[in-house]
Amino acid sequence: MHLYFIHQGQLPDTEPDSAADTATLAHDWQSPLRLKDWLTGMGHSFNTSFPLAGEALPGIDDFHALVVLDGPQRLSSAAQPASPAEQQSLRLQRKLIRRTLNSNRPLLGIGLGARLIAEQMGAIVSSAVVPQRRWATLTRSNECPLGLPAEFEALMWHEEICGLPEDCELLASSEHTPVAGFSWDEGRVVALNFHPHMDAAATQDRLAHHPAPLEGNGVQSREALLEDPKRFDRQAALLDRLLVDWLNA
Protein backbone atom coordinates (compact mmCIF):
# COMPACT_ATOMS: atom_id res chain seq x y z
CA MET A 1 0.00 0.00 0.00
CA HIS A 2 1.26 3.50 -0.87
CA LEU A 3 0.34 6.48 1.33
CA TYR A 4 0.76 10.22 0.96
CA PHE A 5 1.42 12.56 3.89
CA ILE A 6 0.38 16.21 3.62
CA HIS A 7 2.89 18.24 5.65
CA GLN A 8 1.82 21.70 6.87
CA GLY A 9 5.30 23.24 7.01
CA GLN A 10 8.08 24.30 4.67
CA LEU A 11 10.61 22.08 2.98
CA PRO A 12 13.96 21.84 4.82
CA ASP A 13 16.26 24.60 3.56
CA THR A 14 19.12 22.23 2.81
CA GLU A 15 20.01 18.58 2.87
CA PRO A 16 21.17 17.51 6.35
CA ASP A 17 24.95 17.81 6.73
CA SER A 18 25.29 15.59 9.79
CA ALA A 19 23.65 12.92 11.87
CA ALA A 20 22.49 15.67 14.24
CA ASP A 21 20.78 17.51 11.37
CA THR A 22 19.09 14.30 10.26
CA ALA A 23 17.84 13.68 13.79
CA THR A 24 16.47 17.24 13.99
CA LEU A 25 14.50 16.78 10.77
CA ALA A 26 13.23 13.39 11.93
CA HIS A 27 11.75 14.96 15.07
CA ASP A 28 10.15 18.01 13.41
CA TRP A 29 6.81 18.13 15.23
CA GLN A 30 4.90 18.63 11.97
CA SER A 31 6.38 15.48 10.40
CA PRO A 32 4.78 11.98 10.33
CA LEU A 33 6.97 10.76 13.23
CA ARG A 34 5.71 7.39 14.51
CA LEU A 35 3.26 7.13 11.63
CA LYS A 36 6.24 6.77 9.31
CA ASP A 37 7.93 4.24 11.59
CA TRP A 38 4.80 2.08 11.70
CA LEU A 39 4.27 2.18 7.94
CA THR A 40 7.90 1.27 7.29
CA GLY A 41 7.68 -1.63 9.72
CA MET A 42 4.54 -2.91 8.02
CA GLY A 43 6.14 -2.75 4.57
CA HIS A 44 4.10 0.18 3.21
CA SER A 45 5.59 2.94 1.05
CA PHE A 46 4.89 6.68 1.30
CA ASN A 47 5.63 10.14 -0.04
CA THR A 48 5.26 13.56 1.56
CA SER A 49 3.88 16.71 -0.08
CA PHE A 50 4.63 20.25 1.18
CA PRO A 51 1.87 22.46 -0.28
CA LEU A 52 2.93 25.49 1.78
CA ALA A 53 6.25 25.36 -0.09
CA GLY A 54 4.41 25.36 -3.42
CA GLU A 55 4.61 21.62 -4.06
CA ALA A 56 1.76 20.09 -6.01
CA LEU A 57 -0.56 17.84 -4.06
CA PRO A 58 -0.98 14.26 -5.25
CA GLY A 59 -3.80 13.24 -7.51
CA ILE A 60 -6.40 10.82 -6.23
CA ASP A 61 -4.78 8.00 -8.23
CA ASP A 62 -1.33 8.64 -6.72
CA PHE A 63 -2.09 7.02 -3.35
CA HIS A 64 -4.02 4.23 -1.69
CA ALA A 65 -4.48 6.21 1.55
CA LEU A 66 -4.02 9.85 2.58
CA VAL A 67 -2.82 11.36 5.88
CA VAL A 68 -3.27 15.10 6.54
CA LEU A 69 -0.91 16.15 9.33
CA ASP A 70 -1.05 18.83 12.02
CA GLY A 71 0.22 22.38 11.72
CA PRO A 72 -0.07 25.80 13.42
CA GLN A 73 -2.63 27.22 10.98
CA ARG A 74 -6.06 28.01 12.40
CA LEU A 75 -9.42 27.70 10.66
CA SER A 76 -11.97 29.41 12.90
CA SER A 77 -13.40 32.83 12.12
CA ALA A 78 -11.69 34.22 15.23
CA ALA A 79 -8.23 33.32 13.91
CA GLN A 80 -5.78 35.79 12.43
CA PRO A 81 -6.04 35.91 8.62
CA ALA A 82 -3.78 33.37 6.95
CA SER A 83 -0.98 34.47 4.65
CA PRO A 84 -1.56 34.14 0.88
CA ALA A 85 0.65 31.03 0.81
CA GLU A 86 -1.29 29.47 3.70
CA GLN A 87 -4.61 30.32 2.06
CA GLN A 88 -3.52 28.62 -1.16
CA SER A 89 -2.21 25.57 0.72
CA LEU A 90 -5.45 25.18 2.68
CA ARG A 91 -7.58 25.69 -0.43
CA LEU A 92 -5.76 22.88 -2.25
CA GLN A 93 -5.94 20.60 0.79
CA ARG A 94 -9.68 21.16 1.12
CA LYS A 95 -10.15 20.16 -2.51
CA LEU A 96 -8.07 16.99 -2.07
CA ILE A 97 -9.90 16.08 1.14
CA ARG A 98 -13.26 16.41 -0.63
CA ARG A 99 -12.06 14.18 -3.45
CA THR A 100 -10.76 11.60 -0.99
CA LEU A 101 -14.01 11.64 0.99
CA ASN A 102 -15.85 10.89 -2.25
CA SER A 103 -13.49 8.02 -3.12
CA ASN A 104 -13.00 4.64 -1.48
CA ARG A 105 -9.54 5.55 -0.13
CA PRO A 106 -8.73 5.65 3.60
CA LEU A 107 -8.28 9.17 4.99
CA LEU A 108 -6.66 10.09 8.32
CA GLY A 109 -6.37 13.58 9.79
CA ILE A 110 -4.48 14.62 12.91
CA GLY A 111 -4.82 18.03 14.59
CA LEU A 112 -5.26 20.57 11.81
CA GLY A 113 -5.83 17.69 9.41
CA ALA A 114 -8.71 16.42 11.55
CA ARG A 115 -10.29 19.86 11.71
CA LEU A 116 -9.99 20.28 7.94
CA ILE A 117 -11.83 16.98 7.48
CA ALA A 118 -14.53 18.05 9.96
CA GLU A 119 -14.92 21.38 8.16
CA GLN A 120 -15.28 19.70 4.76
CA MET A 121 -17.94 17.41 6.23
CA GLY A 122 -20.01 20.38 7.40
CA ALA A 123 -18.96 20.68 11.05
CA ILE A 124 -18.08 23.98 12.70
CA VAL A 125 -14.48 24.64 13.73
CA SER A 126 -14.21 27.13 16.59
CA SER A 127 -11.72 28.44 19.12
CA ALA A 128 -11.35 26.20 22.16
CA VAL A 129 -12.70 27.71 25.37
CA VAL A 130 -9.85 25.95 27.18
CA PRO A 131 -6.84 25.56 24.84
CA GLN A 132 -4.99 22.30 25.34
CA ARG A 133 -1.31 21.50 25.81
CA ARG A 134 -1.34 18.54 28.13
CA TRP A 135 -1.71 14.84 28.72
CA ALA A 136 -5.43 14.20 29.02
CA THR A 137 -7.60 11.21 29.84
CA LEU A 138 -9.94 10.40 26.97
CA THR A 139 -13.10 8.33 27.24
CA ARG A 140 -14.14 6.09 24.36
CA SER A 141 -17.69 6.61 23.14
CA ASN A 142 -20.20 3.76 22.98
CA GLU A 143 -20.44 4.15 19.20
CA CYS A 144 -16.68 4.02 18.55
CA PRO A 145 -16.00 1.39 15.83
CA LEU A 146 -12.25 1.26 16.51
CA GLY A 147 -10.47 -0.88 19.09
CA LEU A 148 -9.79 1.86 21.62
CA PRO A 149 -9.64 1.21 25.37
CA ALA A 150 -12.54 2.45 27.49
CA GLU A 151 -10.19 5.12 28.86
CA PHE A 152 -6.75 6.11 27.66
CA GLU A 153 -4.22 8.91 28.03
CA ALA A 154 -3.06 10.90 25.01
CA LEU A 155 -1.22 14.12 24.23
CA MET A 156 -3.54 16.99 23.32
CA TRP A 157 -2.27 20.24 21.80
CA HIS A 158 -4.77 22.52 20.14
CA GLU A 159 -6.41 25.93 20.27
CA GLU A 160 -9.39 24.92 18.13
CA ILE A 161 -12.09 22.28 18.42
CA CYS A 162 -14.67 20.97 15.97
CA GLY A 163 -18.20 19.68 16.10
CA LEU A 164 -19.20 16.15 15.15
CA PRO A 165 -20.10 15.98 11.45
CA GLU A 166 -23.43 14.46 10.49
CA ASP A 167 -23.49 10.66 10.17
CA CYS A 168 -20.09 10.32 11.88
CA GLU A 169 -19.24 8.19 14.91
CA LEU A 170 -17.72 9.88 17.94
CA LEU A 171 -14.50 8.09 18.89
CA ALA A 172 -13.62 9.73 22.19
CA SER A 173 -13.94 12.86 24.28
CA SER A 174 -12.09 14.57 27.12
CA GLU A 175 -12.95 17.15 29.75
CA HIS A 176 -12.54 20.19 27.48
CA THR A 177 -12.69 18.52 24.06
CA PRO A 178 -16.14 17.01 23.41
CA VAL A 179 -15.03 15.70 20.00
CA ALA A 180 -11.49 14.39 20.41
CA GLY A 181 -11.93 12.18 17.36
CA PHE A 182 -14.52 10.84 14.95
CA SER A 183 -14.83 8.34 12.13
CA TRP A 184 -17.01 7.92 9.07
CA ASP A 185 -17.85 5.29 6.49
CA GLU A 186 -17.23 2.34 8.82
CA GLY A 187 -13.82 3.67 9.86
CA ARG A 188 -12.45 4.51 6.40
CA VAL A 189 -12.18 8.15 7.49
CA VAL A 190 -10.62 8.88 10.89
CA ALA A 191 -10.00 12.32 12.42
CA LEU A 192 -8.04 12.78 15.66
CA ASN A 193 -7.77 16.04 17.58
CA PHE A 194 -5.04 14.47 19.70
CA HIS A 195 -1.51 13.33 18.89
CA PRO A 196 -0.72 9.62 19.39
CA HIS A 197 2.06 9.85 16.77
CA MET A 198 4.23 12.27 18.76
CA ASP A 199 7.31 11.21 20.72
CA ALA A 200 9.33 13.04 23.37
CA ALA A 201 11.77 14.60 20.88
CA ALA A 202 8.94 15.96 18.73
CA THR A 203 7.25 17.35 21.84
CA GLN A 204 10.45 19.21 22.71
CA ASP A 205 10.62 20.51 19.13
CA ARG A 206 7.05 21.79 19.33
CA LEU A 207 7.73 23.46 22.67
CA ALA A 208 10.64 25.26 21.00
CA HIS A 209 8.91 26.26 17.76
CA HIS A 210 5.18 26.38 18.55
CA PRO A 211 4.80 26.94 22.29
CA ALA A 212 1.25 28.37 22.27
CA PRO A 213 -0.99 28.06 24.22
CA LEU A 214 1.19 29.28 27.05
CA GLU A 215 -1.15 29.31 30.03
CA GLY A 216 -4.55 28.26 31.29
CA ASN A 217 -6.28 25.29 32.91
CA GLY A 218 -5.52 23.07 29.92
CA VAL A 219 -1.79 23.81 29.79
CA GLN A 220 0.91 21.73 31.44
CA SER A 221 4.50 22.80 31.97
CA ARG A 222 7.37 21.49 29.88
CA GLU A 223 8.43 19.37 32.84
CA ALA A 224 4.98 17.81 33.23
CA LEU A 225 4.76 17.02 29.52
CA LEU A 226 8.10 15.22 29.48
CA GLU A 227 8.44 13.76 32.97
CA ASP A 228 7.18 10.24 32.15
CA PRO A 229 8.66 8.74 28.94
CA LYS A 230 6.38 5.71 29.27
CA ARG A 231 3.44 7.91 28.32
CA PHE A 232 4.84 8.15 24.80
CA ASP A 233 5.32 4.37 24.67
CA ARG A 234 1.72 3.77 25.73
CA GLN A 235 0.30 6.10 23.12
CA ALA A 236 2.56 4.52 20.48
CA ALA A 237 0.81 1.21 21.20
CA LEU A 238 -2.52 3.02 20.90
CA LEU A 239 -1.44 4.39 17.51
CA ASP A 240 -0.57 0.89 16.29
CA ARG A 241 -4.07 -0.30 17.10
CA LEU A 242 -5.69 2.72 15.45
CA LEU A 243 -3.69 2.34 12.23
CA VAL A 244 -4.48 -1.36 11.91
CA ASP A 245 -8.20 -0.69 12.33
CA TRP A 246 -8.11 2.29 9.95
CA LEU A 247 -6.35 0.55 7.07
CA ASN A 248 -8.44 -2.58 7.52
CA ALA A 249 -11.75 -0.69 7.47
Please report, in angstroms and rounded to a whole number, the separation of the first and last CA atoms in the chain: 14
Task: State phi, psi for 44 to the nearest 5 degrees.
Answer: -90, 155
pLDDT in the model for residue 249: 85
pLDDT in tens, 187-241: 999 999 999 999 999 999 999 988 766 778 899 999 999 999 999 999 999 999 9
| Residues 10, 54: Cα–Cα separation, whole Å | 9
| 7-21, 93-107, 168-182: least confidently modelled range | 7-21
Tell me how many domains the chain contains: 1
What does pLDDT average to over the chain?
92
The range of the structural domain enclosing residue 129 comes to 2-247
pLDDT in the model for residue 20: 39
- pLDDT of 21 over the 90 cut: no
pTM, whole model, 2 decimals?
A: 0.93
Buried/exposed 145-174: b ≥16 CB within 10 Å, e otherwise? ebebeeebbbbbbbbbbbbbbeebbbbbbb
Three-class SS state of 72: coil
pLDDT in the model for residue 209: 87
Dihedral angle sign, alpha carbons of residues 233, 237, 238, 244: positive
**What CATH number should be reported for the domain holding residue 171?**
3.40.50.880
| Residues 66, 106: Cα–Cα separation, whole Å | 6
| Residue 99 identity (one-letter amino acid) | R
